[in-house]
Amino acid sequence: MKNLLLRINDRIYMTCIWVAGLSVLAISLIIPWGVFARYVLGTGSSWPEPSAILLMMVFTFIGAAASYRAGAHMAVAMLTDRMAPKLRKAMSIFSQLLMATICLFMAIWGTRLCLSTWNQFMSALPTLRVGITYMPIPIGGVLTLIFVLEKLLLGDQSNRRVVRFDLVEESEGAA
pLDDT in the model for residue 64? 94
Per-residue pLDDT of the chain (175 residues; tens, 9 = 90+): 888 998 999 999 999 999 999 999 999 999 999 999 888 888 878 888 899 999 999 999 999 999 999 888 777 677 777 889 899 889 889 989 999 999 999 999 999 999 999 999 988 888 899 999 999 999 999 999 999 999 999 888 877 776 665 544 444 444 4
Domain that holds residue 128: 2-174
pLDDT in the model for residue 75? 72
pLDDT in the model for residue 166? 53
- Using alpha carbons, list the distances in angstroms from residue 23 to 15, 98, 131: 12, 29, 19
CA angle 165, 168, 170 (to 5 degrees): 105
pLDDT in the model for residue 171? 46
pTM given for the model: 0.84
Contact 69, 148 (CB under 8 A): no
pLDDT in the model for residue 170? 47
Sign of CA dihedral 153, 159, 160, 163: positive
Whose CA is closest to 147, among 72, 57, 65, 75?
65
If one counts the domains in the chain, the total is 1
CB burial of residue 151 (10 Å; 0-12, 13-18, 19+): buried
Whose CA is closest to 147, among 6, 4, 2?
6
